[in-house]
Amino acid sequence: MTAHALDKDLEAVAVSARAELVRVIGASGAWDAEPGWRAVFEAVPRHVFVPYYYVGSAGGYERLWRDSPDPWTRERWLRGVYADAPLATRLRDGELVSSSSQPSLMARMLVELGVADGDRVLEIGAGTGYNAALLAHRLGDDLVTTVDLEPEITESARTHLADAGYRPAVVTGDGTRGVPEHGPYDRIIATCTLPTIPRGWLAQCNPGARILAPLATGLIALTVRDAEHAEGTFLNTAAYFVPLRGAEPGPGDDIPHRAGDHELFRFLLTLTHGTLEPQDARELWERELRPRRERYGVTVAGERVWAWLDDPEGPYIWPLRSGRRRECDDRA
């Protein structure tokens, strides 16, 4: 049996479960602006990219995997793969360090990326390879490059992609440096939370390129003007990813991930980490009528990278820290 093949009973489950996932993503409104992504999610089998994952249990985590000798466990694995939920795919010393993103969030990000035929795309964070497969199905293998720091990750992603019939470029390297030899790019998408926008990415982009990346607890969408300048605002979508490995907790990290005002205040605290004290952030947030994510933005100009509220040259601006170099820990 190949990595792609399932036994007869599970094939039927996979077909119905994938159809239900596509229905759920559609009902969420994720691809209302670009319904062509529906056919892509219908075509690319997620189970090929997640041969095992972990679910919480009383003793920590339980591993569900495709090749379990227990038929019931195999079916639980498959139904979980096609749930609209993130999947814990890697543990280290008993702690979660990597996951496969929620499919409806992946769909929303791909729509917001705004690709067109002929666009060349760089993905930061190869992960399981599933997101690269979706991009390759839409654009073609030759236009997609995915990069990850760990050889173990890239080798696994390359295998999963080949099993599913896709062969985009899979590169082992530091994603913050991009992959200049495969550029220039029309789109860059990151599948991990970043502390800032790496300035080197801009030089690998065509003018007018779009960069979409998780930052703080949101998604920043930047338009690249040239190798020295990019600017854009946050989407209204919350985006929570596995915390960067070994990073110290920041202000607001102990605030529950709840919708509404608490969640939006946490976004401000995370975005301004190290530059605003919690009390100062609270006063600003109340004074500005509890602003939503869309009022915040980021500007990259030469050596400077800063976040802002309402106006990149206004009274509320905060420098973004470069952060220590770490690999992406939440990967598609």
Q: Which two structure tokens, joined as six digits, stand for 222?
A: 């930047």
- Cα–Cα dist 259/273, whole Å: 20
Phi, psi of 75 (to 5 degrees): -70, -40
- Cα–Cα dist 104/110, whole Å: 10
Burial class, 35, CB count within 10 angstroms (exposed 0-12 / middle 13-18 / buried 19+): exposed
- Cα–Cα dist 291/272, whole Å: 14
Residue 221's nearest CA partner among 293, 289, 270, 288 is 293
Strand-pair category, 169-172 with 144-148: parallel
Residue 184, preceding peptide bond in cis (omega within 30° of 0): yes
Q: What is the DSSP string of 10-53?
A: HHHHHHHHHHHHHHHHHHTTTTTT-TTHHHHHHHS-GGGT-SEE
Catalogue the active-site residues: 98
Phi, psi of 188 (to 5 degrees): -125, 130
Q: How long, in residues, is the chain?
A: 332
| Cα–Cα distances in angstroms (integers) from residue 59 to residues 6, 42, 63, 94, in the given order | 30, 36, 12, 10
